[in-house]
Amino acid sequence: MSLTNEIKEIIKATVPIIEKNEAELTKIIYPLLFTRNPSMKIFFNRDHLRKGTQPRAFIGSIIEYAKNIDNLDAIKPLINDIAEKHAALNIKPVQYSIVNICLLEVFGKALGTKGTHVVKRAWKEAIENLANIIIGAETRKYEETLAKEGGWKGFKKFTITNKENESAMITSFYLEPTDGKTIVIGKAGQYINMMLDIPERGTVFRNYSLSSSPNSNYYRISVKREENGLVSNYLHDMLSQKDKIKLSPPYGSLCIKETDKPAVLISGGVGITPMMSILQDAVKQQLTRQIYFIHGTRNRNTHAFKDDVVTLTADHDNVNYHFFYSRNSVKSADTEPGRISMNSVKEITSHQKDAEFYLCGPAQMMKDLYRELINWGVTPNNIVYEYFGPKRDITG
């Protein structure tokens, strides 16, 4: 159902009031939602709620939609990112009604005296319209995955078949479907959602990027031990071969585009995981395009997949690597000291600003690089990124 011009005009006229109250709305929306429906709480990452990144992404996405209500094509990437995250969590249409009710309640408060019956009615229709757009995008993703060989919806049981240390902090887990059947081949750079039951903590969900070239037998993920992190420590310390976990099929949009442009894969820390998947896959597919693999980490101890990258690139003239160690102050045979800087990216790529840039790493590194790439003149279309939290935190 499309919105009438009258509703669109009301939304455009009143969205500045919502925007003015954005900070307050981000504070109250989730407490209200969890009071009304406590069972929804388990789906959300507590860390993202505590830091405010998820509430900001949530309210921010509705404001972005409202501002673009005349041109919804502009928010297609946003809708896609939301639908990818939702699909990996197996979010269902029935869950939207309570979210919509809570949104209307807090928006009603924000509108204050401007929130006449007509205005509230317009917001109700607009929010329901947005929910339907997202539900439609999710449904298409569910259907696409189910239509593929080995596809499934929701969470499927997997067995850990191997566990390998990749660095002082990062361990890989090889995950095979417990029923022994073929699994859907995701795209390199995508992520799965893991559903775990942790004793005394209950059910938790976490996303992990595929860290190897996708295939139909197993998924490999590589997890960094986070200080005081619930799931990462549980995986490192408590789970090993033969243990069972549940996984969603792969979703996500950090996927290499099918062009001949040079691809610049830039990662920091554990952000190397999707880039490993992309690199392995590119080599497997024998892509001939130029690929720059640029990775920054603290030092040799924290450097995962170093030998793999060196081996993978050895026989391929079109692929080269550049490693940066932030804790080193001098250059070594194959590492540069310091962090990845925009100047080094320009130098490595011989100033090819029409290349495609793929980013994954810590928030500050990505915010800086994204901004600097744009300032340099790279078009947003040529920057693809994954962030290990709500994505709008980087560009929003």
- Catalytic residue numbers, as ranges: 96, 138
Classify residue 11 as exposed, middle or buried by CB count within 10 Å of its CB (0-12, 13-18, 19+). Answer: buried
By CB under 6 A, residue 172 contacts ligand FAD: no
Q: Does 160 bind ligand HEM (CB under 6 A)?
A: no
Rule CB under 6 A: say whether 61 interacts with ligand HEM: yes
Find the shortest distance in angstroms from Cβ 200 to ligand HEM: 21
Interface with ligand HEM, residue 48, by CB under 6 A: yes
Residue 246 in contact with ligand FAD, rule: CB under 6 A:
no
Nearest to 56 by CA among 383, 372, 363: 363
Contacted entry of ligand FAD, ligand HEM, none for residue 223, CB cut-off 5 to 8 Å set by kind = ligand FAD
Q: What is the token pair recorded at 377?
A: 């003149």
Please state, in angstroms and rounded to a whole number, the distance separating the CA atoms of residues 188 and 180.
22
Task: Please select the residue that binds ligand FAD; options are 138, 166, 336, 386, rule is CB under 6 A.
Answer: 386
- The three-point CA angle 304-288-183 to 5° equals 60
Which residues are bridge partners to 386 per DSSP?
360
Q: Contact between 246 and ligand HEM (CB under 6 A)?
A: no
By CB under 6 A, is residue 227 in contact with ligand FAD?
yes
User: What count of Cα atoms within 13 Å lies in the side-chain half-sphere of residue 220?
Assistant: 22
Which pair of tokens denotes residue 171?
């361990």
For 382, residues 6+ apart whose C-beta sits below 8 A from its C-beta are: 261, 354, 355, 356, 357
For ligand FAD, the binding residue among 58, 107, 208, 358 (CB under 6 A) is 208
Of 3-11, 129-137, 218-226, 313-321, which part binds ligand FAD (CB under 6 A)? 218-226
48 binds, among ligand HEM, ligand FAD, none (CB under 5 to 8 A by kind): ligand HEM
Chosen residue from 14, 26, 54, 209 binding ligand HEM by CB under 6 A: 54
Burial class (CB in 10 A: 0-12, 13-18, 19+), 71: exposed
Find the binding residues for ligand FAD in span 266-305 (CB under 6 A): 270, 273
CB nearer ligand HEM, residue 85 or residue 322: 85
If one asks whether residue 87 binds ligand HEM (CB under 6 A), the answer comes out as no
**14: how many CB neighbours lie within 10 A of its CB?**
22
